Structure 1
Amino acid sequence: TLQDGEYVLVSKVTYRLGQPQHGDIIVFKYPGEPPQDLIKRIIGLPGDSVQVNGSNVYVNGQPLAEPYIAAAPMYQGQWQVPEGFLFVLGDNRNDSSDSHSWGLLPRENVIGKALLIYWPPPEWNIISHYEIAVAAPTASAP
């Protein structure tokens, strides 16, 4: 989880060579107003069904193990991620402007993958991209 005032090195090349993955932390152009860059974690990819039900997040019917979140979400919702879009959430689930509040993120808004915190120097660290094990989407997924 990142803190205010930390500076992050972002790779703009990563997604030219490959596709975004579940758990990647990305920087993107906020699709609303005012225009700004945000940083969030990818939870849902095209074809995925994402459900937030009280304290759990499910992708394609499977609950996610999320050791990185500050607190379990206190909201509910269900989203189907179409081609060309991503579903992103902040690690501070209950105080984050993300897909649960403003909708799906257009893929073209992605700037790149966050790699490391480089400022302030005492906080220098490689950013952990937890691998989120997600079942393939099926017709019966919630």
Structure 2
Amino acid sequence: MDFALIMFVALVITGVIWLLDSLFFKSKRPKDAKLPVLTEYAKSFFPVILAVFMLRSFLVEPFKIPSGSMLPTLLVGDFILVNKYTYGIRLPIINKKIIDVRAPEKGDVMVFRYPKDPSLDYIKRVVGVPGDTVTYRNKRLTINGKPLATQKDGTYNYVGRGLNYVTTEQYKEQLGQHLHTIITQPGRPSIDLSQVDSQFPYRENCDYNDEGFTCKVPQGYYFMMGDNRDDSTDSRYWGFVPDRNIVGRAFMVWWNFDHLKRIGHMIE
């Protein structure tokens, strides 16, 4: 069950108990009588639950990075903070936008609800906004016909799935206002065509071949990719992210048990 929904249910239950006691039962108790246990718990927890619910729903929400798809920008085990109002104020639970602030920009690291299963939260980098033409061929990203500026930046090694040791080539990439690091694995294809969903919405906007793909981003949607380009399941495979699925912009690592130096690291 969605954590926000659990918080909302707890908020309603404790609030109703407190309200009923204030309106009906309080006046019937002797002044020196102790509060019923249930009422005492409700009055104690309601303000706390309300504060946490409001904070997570409208300001900042914590998430934990479960995979290496955003290496080296985000490490497995990073606990990150996500700004919930950067892209607009949304009603909790139903995620409906009620106040517009700004649209996601190319290069933003964004948390969103996975289009094929909205109960799951994913994190990737925005590489295409509505109207953009995104091309990725031979490990090179091109937006609207202009190849992104990249610069070789050595190698990056990490322990991958199955505890195998992976050696990658590391690059600095300029995407919009963001200068960030990406990695690619020599010898791996730009895309595994066998893993591409053939029925995602606006699939006709994309053209695939053995060298890569070109996709035209429809209005109201975004194209997402992981910084670990050859080990990321992203928009290449399951399609565009609708605006209604946006959760917020990731901006800081606040904890990592294995890498304490990352505490306070700002996400670019």
State if a TM-score over 0.5 links the two structures: yes
1:86, 1:52 → 2: CA distance?
15
In structure 1, the residue matched to 2:267 is: 127
In structure 1, the residue matched to 2:116 is: 32
For structure 1, the 5+ residue unaligned runs are 129-142
In structure 2, the residue matched to 1:133 is: none
- Higher mean C-alpha deviation, range 28-37 or range 62-71: 28-37
The CA deviation at 1:34 is: 7.7
Q: Which has the higher contact order (CA 8 A, sep 6+)?
A: 1
- The letter of the residue matching 1:115 is F
1:80-121: CA deviation from partner (whole Å, max 9, x where unpaired): 001110001000011101101111111111100001000124
The aligned length equals 128
Does residue 1:2 correspond to 2:59, yes or no? no
2:230, 2:243 → 1: CA distance?
24
2:183, 2:84 → 1: CA distance?
28
Aligned match of 1:15 in 84, 87, 104?
A: 87
In structure 1, the residue matched to 2:182 is: 69
- Report the CA distance shift for 1:43/1:54 in structure 2 as closer, same or farther (over 3 A): same
User: Following superposition, which runs of at least 4 residues in structure 1 exceed 4 angstroms of deviation?
Assistant: none
1:1-44: CA deviation from partner (whole Å, max 9, x where unpaired): 11111111000100112111010000011111483111100000
- The letter of the residue matching 1:30 is Y
For structure 2, the 5+ residue unaligned runs are 1-72, 89-100, 151-171, 173-180, 192-211
Q: Under a length normalisation based on structure 1, what TM-score does the superposition of the two structures give?
A: 0.84
1:7, 1:105 → 2: CA distance?
23
- The letter of the residue matching 1:3 is L
Identity %: 41
Give 3-state SS (helix, strand or coil) of 1:51's partner: strand
Does residue 1:96 correspond to 2:232, yes or no? yes
- Report the CA distance shift for 1:111/1:34 in structure 2 as closer, same or farther (over 3 A): closer
Task: State the structure with more CA Rg.
Answer: 2
Give 3-state SS (helix, strand or coil) of 1:100's partner: helix
1:37, 1:114 → 2: CA distance?
12
- The letter of the residue matching 1:5 is G
1:34, 1:43 → 2: CA distance?
21
Does residue 1:109 correspond to 2:109, yes or no? no
Bigger helix share: 2
Is the CA contact 2:110–2:249 (under 8 Å) kept in the aligned structure 1? yes
1:27, 1:86 → 2: CA distance?
12
